[in-house]
């Protein structure tokens, strides 16, 4: 059976929702990230990156959200979470997920995880990076709202793995200091995601 290591309100929410959408049999394992359980030797033995998600499969452990999402979609074809029969459409899915992973999530990480890029002692650089997060996240979401989002779901009429991924990151916007009023499509998408049973189950899991 699959096992997913996650932290509440982290990017692992995207993988949790995908597992629920797929109807997968899995065991969720919640980390106490407030107390840095992700940096303990026990967890580093599971994911040496010290991050979530980590998806334990019968063939090994997968990390990186685009990979966990594509794996879930491919191993649960009946859920139709990605267009594997259409190379161009699947490349578009990968393109969207890659943008979230390499650009949008990284922009967000400048708020709390600045020491990935500058020394802990460089308080001015850390402060400047944090202060710019509302601007960089707004720029990313302008790109999504105006150029990438097709509607009603990210890729158009078909719900795909892009939807939980966008939902997870869009849930951080207000706390990142972003004015969400210029993003009505993304906000409406976020509201519709909340109505799905998969999302309700994952939200209940996080608030437990
Ligand atoms: N590129 C990774 C990023 C994973 C990541 O940074 N997760 C954050 C939570 S949103 C984390 O585990 N941070 C813990 C830490 O930095 O100590 C992915 O897409 O899965």
What domain range includes position 44? 2-80+201-207
Q: Which helix (H) or strand (E) holds 6?
A: strand 2-6
Distance 170 CA to ligand 1 centre (A): 16
Distance 185 CA to ligand 1 centre (A): 26
Question: Domains in the chain: how many in total?
Answer: 2
Residue 159 and residue 116 in one domain: yes
- Domain with 179 in it: what CATH number? 1.20.1050.10
Residue 157 and residue 94 in one domain: yes
Residue 178 and residue 159 in one domain: yes
Q: Which atom of ligand 1 is nearest to the CA of 68?
A: 20
Residue 164: predicted pLDDT = 98
Residue 128: predicted pLDDT = 97
Q: Which residues line ligand 1 (CB under 6 A)?
A: 10-11, 38, 50-53, 64-65, 101, 105, 113
Residue 73 and residue 101 in one domain: no
Residue 99 and residue 164 in one domain: yes
Residue among 4, 31, 52 whose CB has most ligand 1 atoms within 8 A, to mutate: 52
Name which residue sits closest to atom 11 of ligand 1, judged by CA: 51
Distance 71 CA to ligand 1 centre (A): 18
Residue 177 and residue 108 in one domain: yes
Residue 206: predicted pLDDT = 85
Residue 69 and residue 97 in one domain: no
Residue 146 and residue 63 in one domain: no
Q: What is the pLDDT along the chain (208 residues), one digit of tens a residue?
A: 999 999 999 999 999 999 999 999 999 999 999 999 999 999 999 999 999 999 999 999 999 999 999 999 999 999 999 999 999 999 999 999 999 999 999 999 999 999 999 999 999 999 999 999 999 999 999 999 999 999 999 999 999 999 999 999 999 999 999 999 999 999 999 999 999 999 999 999 988 7
- Domain with 49 in it: what CATH number? 3.40.30.10
Cα gap 145→154, rounded to integer Å: 10
Q: What is the pTM (predicted TM-score) of this model?
A: 0.98
Q: Which atom of ligand 1 is nearest to the CA of 36?
A: 17
Burial grade of 163 (CB within 10 A; 0-12, 13-18, 19 or more) = buried
| Local structure of 152: helix, strand or coil | coil
pLDDT tens-digit readout, 54-107:
999 999 999 999 999 999 999 999 999 999 999 999 999 999 999 999 999 999
Residue 31: predicted pLDDT = 98
CB 62 within 8 A of CB 54: yes
Q: Which atom of ligand 1 is nearest to the CA of 53?
A: 20
Residue 207: predicted pLDDT = 82
| Local structure of 156: helix, strand or coil | strand
Q: Which atom of ligand 1 is nearest to the CA of 112?
A: 16
CA 17 to mean position of chain CA atoms: 10
CB 80 within 8 A of CB 42: no
| Local structure of 27: helix, strand or coil | strand
Residue 129 and residue 182 in one domain: yes
> Strand locations in 76-122, DSSP E?
none
Residue 158 and residue 57 in one domain: no
């Amino acid at each position: 059976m699959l096992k997913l290591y996650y932290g509440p309100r982290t990017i692992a929410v995207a993988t949790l929702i995908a597992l629920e959408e797929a109807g997968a049999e899995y065991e969720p394992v919640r980390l106490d990230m407030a107390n840095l359980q992700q940096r303990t030797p026990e967890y580093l033995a599971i994911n040496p990156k010290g991050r979530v998600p980590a998806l334990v499969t019968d063939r090994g452990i997968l990390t990186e959200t685009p990979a966990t999402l594509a794996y879930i979609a491919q191993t649960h074809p009946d859920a139709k979470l990605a267009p594997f029969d259409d190379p161009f459409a699947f490349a578009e899915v990968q393109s969207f997920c890659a943008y979230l992973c390499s650009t949008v999530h990284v922009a967000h990480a400048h708020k709390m995880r600045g020491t990935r890029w500058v020394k802990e002692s460089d308080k001015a650089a850390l402060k400047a990076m944090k202060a710019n997060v509302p601007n960089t996240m707004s720029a990313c979401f302008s790109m999504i709202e105006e150029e990438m989002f097709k509607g009603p779901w990210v890729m158009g009429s078909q719900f795909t793995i892009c939807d939980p991924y966008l939902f997870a990151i869009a849930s951080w916007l207000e706390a990142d200091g972003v004015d969400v009023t210029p993003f009505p499509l993304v906000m409406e998408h976020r509201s519709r995601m909340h109505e799905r049973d998969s999302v309700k189950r994952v939200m209940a899991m996080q608030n437990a």
